[in-house]
Amino acid sequence: MPRLSSAARTVNWFARHGYIRRADDDDAGTWRLTAMGSEAAASLDHGYELGYDGLPA
């Protein structure tokens, strides 16, 4: 049985949570950022002030 690659799992997670969507005019598997994905990509450092356990580092 074939397994999903890490990249495929990542794309599935982003799509399931609304960060990306499949491009409407392309059957080649092109994905586009949604507004929520663009906002998250613009603030990649957000949240890193917390440690691994969610407490301030």
pLDDT digits (tens, 9 = 90+) for 11-48: 899 999 999 998 877 677 788 999 999 988 888 777 66
**pLDDT for residue 18:** 92
What pLDDT does residue 40 have? 86
Q: What is the pTM of this model?
A: 0.65
Average pLDDT value for residue range 41-56: 66
Looking at this protein, which amino acid is placed at residue 46?
Answer: H
Q: Which amino acid is at 25?
A: D
Closest Cα partner for 8 from 29, 25, 23, 33?
A: 29
Q: How confident is the model at residue 1 (pLDDT cuts 50, 70, 90)?
A: low
Tell me: pLDDT of 50 over 80: no
Helical spans, DSSP H, in the chain: 6-16, 35-42
